[in-house]
Amino acid sequence: MSDIEVRLLEASDAAVLQRIAQDVFDGPPFAPLTHEFLTDPRHHLAVAMCAGEVVGFASGVHYVHPDKPPELWINEVGVTPAMQRRGIGRALLDCLAEHAVALGCREAWVLADSDNAVARRFYEALGGEASPAVMYSFDLGD
């Protein structure tokens, strides 16, 4: 991983997302949403860069609630298939976790589909504990 740089993006870093390796994100970033995400102080995006190209990312939201300590919700992790199994995902989550601790977060959590064995093994290998919770989603229309 000596040729990989992992760092958090700041509001002025939108241009970093112009060079992304194949299959890192689900689709290309949209400029207005990138701007909104990067300028929101509760949204955080760690990227792994190799030769000026984003080869991995992890995004999270610093979540606060009136009766609970701050938490980090890890929204998504992606690494280009050509760079998987090299410790990039772990480094990205470590970067987000370090930032979350600095923000006062006491816990981080992530959702994984029950049939996504690869993601579940990854999170368990990092020390994550599966929860018996069930997620429900609601269609809010167009």
Work out whether the CA dihedral 54, 95, 87, 131 comes out positive or negative: negative
pLDDT, average across residues 39-52? 97
- Each residue of 58-88: pLDDT tens digit? 999 999 999 999 999 999 999 999 999 999 9
Coil vs helix vs strand at 66: coil
Q: How far apart are CA 137 and CA 101, in angstroms?
A: 29
Work out whether the CA dihedral 14, 93, 72, 29 comes out positive or negative: positive
* H, E, C per residue of 98-117: HHHHHCCCCEEEECCCCCCH
- Report the predicted TM-score, pTM, of the whole model to 2 decimal places: 0.91
Q: Indicate the average pLDDT of the chain.
A: 94
Residues recorded for the chain: 142
